[in-house]
Every structure is written in C-alpha cells, then in structure tokens.
Structure 1
C-alpha cells in the first residue's frame, strides 16, 4: 500500500454496477479506485500498465464478463502477478462457484448482494494479505475437501468446461456461449456433451436442476 491507501482495480462490464461499487467503497477513505475495466482483456492491460502489485493492492473482478471472464483473468493474474490479490465478485451462489475461485487462487469470493460493510471488510482483509471467506464459502470448501474435491460436483469439471457449464445453466444458448468465450459453436457443443456426461445429466433442463441442487449444497 502507498501512503496508507488501498489501490484498487475494479473490473465489471456493467457501468451501473461499477458506479454502485465505487459509491460503496467511497465510504472507506483509504480505498482508492485507481483503474476501471469493462472486460477481462482491459483488466489485464490496466494491471500491466500499473505495474501489477507495484501500482495496485487488489483487483476486484466480476466473474461474468464478455470475452475473458473473471476466471480467465484470475488465472492470468496468478501467473503474471502472483502477489496481487484478486477478490472475485459474482451474482452466482457461493456454494456453486466460490470453491472453484478459491482453488484457482482467488483471495476471496463476494456476492454482489453483500452488505456494504462486508464488502469494505473483504477489500481491507484481502489487501492486507488475508483471505476473505464467508461462513457459506467455508462450509462449501470443507465439503469439497471431505469429498476429495473431485467427481462429486461442478468442481470436477475442467476450467473451460466449468465456464460453459456456468453459462449453460444461466440460460445461454450454444451460439451465445461461443460468442462470449470466443469458441466455435461445434467446440461449445463438444464441451456441453462432456459436461452432461460428467454430471450424469441428459439435457439442459436436467443440468439446470443439477446446478440448483449443488448451489444448495445437496446431492
């Protein structure tokens, strides 16, 4: 941190969300939004421009962005700027996504509906070198460890399969997913087939029910 300031990169493709987050963070005078990105590619570009951890103390990254999503950004930052902590923002259920993010190296997972005080506390903790985990996330992590972390839920999917899984269960079509992840529709269909096989489901409706079941911690 420089001069006691927490220098933050904010990455979210919705301007209204960025403005709302900045308003929340403005209640903490030591938190300074140094850069804003509208997608994953710009987020990585801005981190590089600021010299990674030399110019930033934390990256606050939305999981669902066009092109390179939050999971891609997280992996790239862990590879190129391993000392820069990443706090993942999401509207998705913690039980379904937090474990994946933490395993990929995120310093925390925060739902966008979180209380403003919790959001500020999360930024402070992560910027100070800690890991922010809610009780729900801690329970999901413990459950994944207890199962051995493989073959027992969405965490058994590969990184790309997981991205396709997330978009499929959010109601996106194969063509939509292809455009968003910059993949050919045939490639997306191949990933979809693998996902159905690994989850033991037969179609998108069963897959959505499977996702809902795991989001609630059942099954």
Structure 2
C-alpha cells in the first residue's frame, strides 16, 4: 500500500503518517508540501491513494485534483481540509476527488474513507450527499457556483479581508493576475466592492 500525503504543514503530515502506519502496517507514505511536489512524485511513482490538503502555497488543492485527473484518471484522491464541507466539498467532488473530509473529524473517519476508495467507491459524508442531491434537483443556483475554482479561491481570500498583495504572496501569482480575477468575479457576482464580497460570503455561509 502506497500513499502520497500533501499538506504544507509538517505536523499534519507527520500525524497522518502515524495514523496510516497503525491501520496499514506495511504501507509506504511519501509526502509533499505543494503542487510541484505532487507532480514530481507522480512522475516517479504511482499511489493507491493521494491525501491532499485544499489550501496550499501556489496552486490550490482543487487545481491539483484536476491536473492529476488528466494524467492519472483512476487514482483515488481524498481532500482533507479545514474548510467546512458546505464551502468546498461539491467543488472538490466535481473536480474529481473521491472524497472530502474535514480536519476536525477523527482518525476513524479517515480510515473509513481510505478503505472505501480502495474498494473503488466514493466517500461522501451525509451532509455533502444532501447538498449534492439538492444541487442536482434544484433549477436555481447561486451566482458563486459559476466561478471557476481559482476565482472562488480568490473570492474567499478577499472576503476574509486579504489584500491583493497578500493573496499574490499566498498563491505565488502576480498582483495583476489577482486583480484580473477580482474584476471577473465581481462581474459574475454582480458586485462592486470588496465589502460587497464579504457581505455576499456571509449571506451564503461561505465564511
């Protein structure tokens, strides 16, 4: 059994390796901090499961999932994030993840998710399954659902009060690129200011 753990916090990676070694005694755990590490590891080896954080320096976990699916379409990917399920789970599943777990959950849930995806099945928590059902059955969709994954990520950061320069540093993107994304997402959401973005995020439980 071979796992790839991707998280920019070493304490999280070490904790996950300890959990996995207990439940899968002869497993091998490779690790990485960012998207570049992921793609480098995938060129060298194949993995039974990739466990990936959502928020990392540079490209987001959603970008990583989409890229992995292009080159390794059958490789199971579990997103393990601090963000509540209602904020990112549907996006992660649509991007190609096999499951979404919140970091506040216990080790037993993680192991259950891994065993399920190893059987070729998706791991969808009950709260996410309900959202998915409503999303598929409802003819109405919120404006933010039309945002690309990159735009949504930047939208969240702006709504949290981050400046253009701070977001630029976090995502390793130029300030001009961030400003362009900001202009696009404001247009898509029919909003004008950063304060409007924060208000919208609060109204839709995105913060």
Q: TM-score, normalised by structure 2?
A: 0.89
Secondary structure of 1:192's partner?
helix
* Larger CA deviation: 173-182 vs 70-79: 173-182
Distance 1:209 1:127 in 2: 41
Q: Secondary structure of 2:31's partner?
A: strand
User: Residues 17, 171 of structure 1: CA spacing in aligned structure 2 closer, same or farther, 3 A cutoff?
Assistant: farther
Moved over 3 A (4+): none
Q: Which runs of 5+ in 2 are unaligned?
A: none
Measure how far apart 1:121 and its partner are. Answer: 0.5
Residue 202 of structure 1, CA deviation: 3.4
2: CA distance, partners of 1:143 / 1:46: 37
CA offsets 1:49-102 (integer angstroms, 9 cap, x no match)? 11x3xxx11100001010122111101100001111111111112111111111
Offset at residue 151 of structure 1 (A): 4.7
Q: Distance in 2 between matches of 1:141 and 1:153?
A: 17
Deviations 1:127-150 (A, max 9, x none): 2211010111112212222335x8
Shift in CA distance, 146/208, structure 1 to aligned 2, threshold 3 Å: farther
For residue 92 of structure 1, what is the aligned residue in structure 2?
Answer: 83
Residues in 2 aligned to 1:17 and 1:153: alpha-carbon distance in whole angstroms: 34
**1: CA distance, partners of 2:203 / 2:15:** 31
Matched residue pairs, number? 206
Using the alignment, how far apart are the partners of 2:24 and 2:141 within structure 1? 45
1:11 maps to 2:11: no
Whether the aligned pair in 2 keeps the contact of 1:161 and 1:191 (CA below 8 Å) is yes
Q: Does 1:164 align with 2:159?
A: no
Residue 180 of structure 1 is matched in structure 2 by 170
Separation in 1 of the partners of 2:28 and 2:144? 33
2:141 is the counterpart of 1:146: no
Find the aligned partners of 2:183 and 2:99 in 1 and give their Cα distance.
Answer: 31
Going from structure 1 to structure 2, the CA distance change for 1:197 and 1:39 (only over 3 Å counts) comes to: same
